[in-house]
Each structure stands twice: as structure tokens, then as C-alpha cells.
Amino acid sequence: IQMTQSPSSLSASVGDTVTITCRASQGINNYLAWYQQKPGKVPKLLIYAASTLQSGVPSRFSGSGSGTDFTLTISGLQPEDFATYYCQQANSFPALTFGGGTKVEIK
């Protein structure tokens, strides 16, 4: 299953609401996770099962979707949110796949 993220990069300001899209090449139910990775750091799990917030993750992060289309929304972008975000499907096992990433930069 191919995971296509859009956009590949975006520029936004602190306080903005940002939406990142992930599309699966075939239906994956809700078996989708979102990760955040900052430069030189390891990925951090933000959301799993499409919309469940991982413990300790701020509530400004939210996820939605099912089937083939998913979104990650950051409501009120904070300086520490500038990073690259990846989606990952866990439906088609054992062929887990990640999206290509979306880099969120400061405008």
C-alpha cells in the first residue's frame, strides 16, 4: 500500500491551523498513525488508530479519517511544532508503509 502525503512542505506562522493529508492507495480502515520528527531527533508518535491521541501529546494535535483519506490537524501552531510529519499505515501487514513526509516550516 502506498501512502501519499500532501503537501510535501508548507510554511505557516505561529498560531495558524495546519492540515496535512495522507492518502492510502487502498483502504486501510483506521489503521493509521502520525509521527513528528524534528531535525536530528527520533520520530515521536502523535496519533494512532487515525484519531487517538497518544499519551502526553498536546490536544492541539488531532487526526481524522478512515478508509483511504486521513488528515492531521494542528490547531494553533506552536514554535515547537515546526518539524516533519509522517503518516504510517498498519493495516497491510507485514508490509507497513510510511508516507513521504510533510515538512512544516516557519513563514
Partner 1 sequence: EVQLVESGGGLVKPGGSLRLSCAASGFAFSSYTMNWVRQGPGEGLEWVSSITSGSSYTYYADSLKGRFITSRDNAKNSLYLQMNNLRVEDTAIYYCARDLFAARGVFYFDYWGQGALVTVSS
Residues lying near partner 1 in the complex (CB under 8 A) are found at 33, 35, 37, 42-45, 48-49, 54, 86, 88, 90, 93-101
Distance CA 40, CA 56 (A): 21
In the complex, the smallest distance separating the C-beta of residue 48 from partner 1, rounded to whole angstroms, is 4
In the complex, the smallest distance separating the C-beta of residue 99 from partner 1, rounded to whole angstroms, is 7
In terms of CB distance, is 18 or 88 closer to partner 1?
88
Distance CA 60, CA 78 (A): 9
In terms of CB distance, is 76 or 105 closer to partner 1?
105
**Neighbour count for residue 66 (Cβ, 10 Å):** 15
In terms of CB distance, is 10 or 16 closer to partner 1?
10
As given in the structure block, the three cell numbers for residue 7 are: 503537501
As given in the structure block, the three cell numbers for residue 89 are: 499505515
Name the 3-class secondary structure at 77. coil
Name the 3-class secondary structure at 80. helix
In the complex, the smallest distance separating the C-beta of residue 93 from partner 1, rounded to whole angstroms, is 6
